[in-house]
Amino acid sequence: AQSVTQPDIHITVSEGASLELRCNYSYGATPYLFWYVQSPGQGLQLLLKYFSGDTLVQGIKGFEAEFKRSQSSFNLRKPSVHWSDAAEYFCAVVARNNNDMRFGAGTRLTVKP
């Protein structure tokens, strides 16, 4: 069955520390891959997306993600976290043969001063 998994429900990092949020997917063929961020009371904002080409994708706000086909993963990284990065992060996928976007359950990021 097709699925998107974010193994970490909640992560706490210190401001200035590096960050990696995990995302794994289970699809027959490599889907389109996205990372969104959701701040309290706000809509979802796209951080970055991957559909082909270079497996290291650069996004907004200093985020990047690396697609690894062998691991069916699309992990999100940031070298130095800012307090304003505290939010909920969602990995999402769209299969190449349909229209519905499937989201992981999300990872809540807390940033310690």
Which residues here bind other proteins, judged by CB under 8 A?
4, 32, 36, 41-46, 49, 51, 90, 92, 94, 96, 98-106
Compute the least distance from the CB of residue 100 to other proteins, in Å.
4
> Who contacts 61 (Cβ-Cβ below 8 Å, separation ≥6)?
37, 47, 78, 85
Q: Diameter of the chain by CA atoms?
A: 44
Nearer Cβ to other proteins, position 54 or 100? 100
Rounded CA-CA distance 66/61 in Å is 16
Nearer Cβ to other proteins, position 47 or 111? 47
Compute the least distance from the CB of residue 36 to other proteins, in Å.
8
Task: Report which DSSP code applies to 72.
Answer: T
